[in-house]
Structures are given as C-alpha cells and as structure tokens.
C-alpha cells in the first residue's frame, strides 16, 4: 500500500509531487532543495549553506515517519556545478559518516529548481513498529 508523507517541517512541494511516499517498508523522498520551510525561500547561494539546509529538510521528512538518516539506503545528489562536489561531499560525510554511508550517485545537471546549487533525493528503510 502506498501512503503519502507530509510535514510542515519541510518545504512545501513546488509542483505536483509529494515530499515522500511510503510503500511497505521503504520511504521514497522526493528531491529536497535548500528551501527554508518557514519562509518558502531559497537560502543564500553558497554550496555549504545550501547543502546543510537540504539535509535539514531530509531529516524533517524522515522524522515525519519516525525515521532517521541511519535508515537511508540510497541517495542521488544533483549538483548545478561539479566544482561544488568537494564541499558538498564533506558536508555529506558529516551527516552520514565515512564508513556507513548509503549508496550514492552524484550527477551534474544544467539547472535545478529555483536556481538552487544542490538537490538530494533519498530512499530509506523504515520500521513499521516505529
């Protein structure tokens, strides 16, 4: 069964999609961009600030399903400029660690929504009893 996940702690979707969808024991998070959920505005144009905001948004969506970053099994990172990879990667490691990180793909794209520098989507396993 498919269940739509929504939380006010993460940015509202800017199109016809859900923040996340739970299906069985998996949670599929839509790509999160660095939007401050309180203001609905993109945070400043610095890859470090933006990457931290993306992770705060991911954590908020996971929390809505009583989950954490420890349950993430796969991510896809989209960068507007691959020159930002080293900074994003360092921050990514701060959130996931170096030895127990999820599987990941990183892709440079021509543009991201609202002119953001980074977007990250994730798949997490969740515990139904949580």
Number of H helices, E strands in the chain: 2, 6
pLDDT at 127: 75
Backbone angles phi, psi at 34, to 5 degrees: -80, 65
pLDDT at 104: 98
* CB neighbour burial string for 53-88, b if at least 16 within 10 angstroms, e if fewer: bbbbbbbbbbebbebebebbeebebbbbeeebbebb
Which parts of the chain register pLDDT below 50? 130
Domains in the chain, please, with CATH? 2-125 (3.30.1330.40)
Q: Which helix (H) or strand (E) holds 20?
A: strand 20-23
pLDDT at 41: 97
pTM for the model: 0.95
């Amino acid at each position: 069964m498919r269940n739509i996940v929504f939380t006010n702690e993460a940015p509202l979707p800017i199109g016809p999609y859900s923040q996340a969808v739970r299906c069985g024991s998996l949670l599929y998070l839509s790509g999160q961009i660095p939007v401050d959920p309180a203001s609905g505005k993109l945070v400043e144009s610095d890859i470090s600030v933006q990457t931290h905001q993306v992770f705060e948004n991911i954590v908020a969506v996971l929390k809505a399903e009583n989950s954490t970053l420890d349950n993430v099994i796969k991510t896809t990172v989209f960068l507007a400029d691959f020159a930002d990879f080293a900074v994003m990667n360092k921050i990514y490691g701060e959130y996931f660690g170096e030895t127990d990180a999820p599987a990941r793909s990183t892709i440079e794209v021509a543009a991201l929504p609202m002119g953001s520098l980074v977007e990250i989507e994730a798949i997490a396993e969740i515990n139904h009893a949580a």
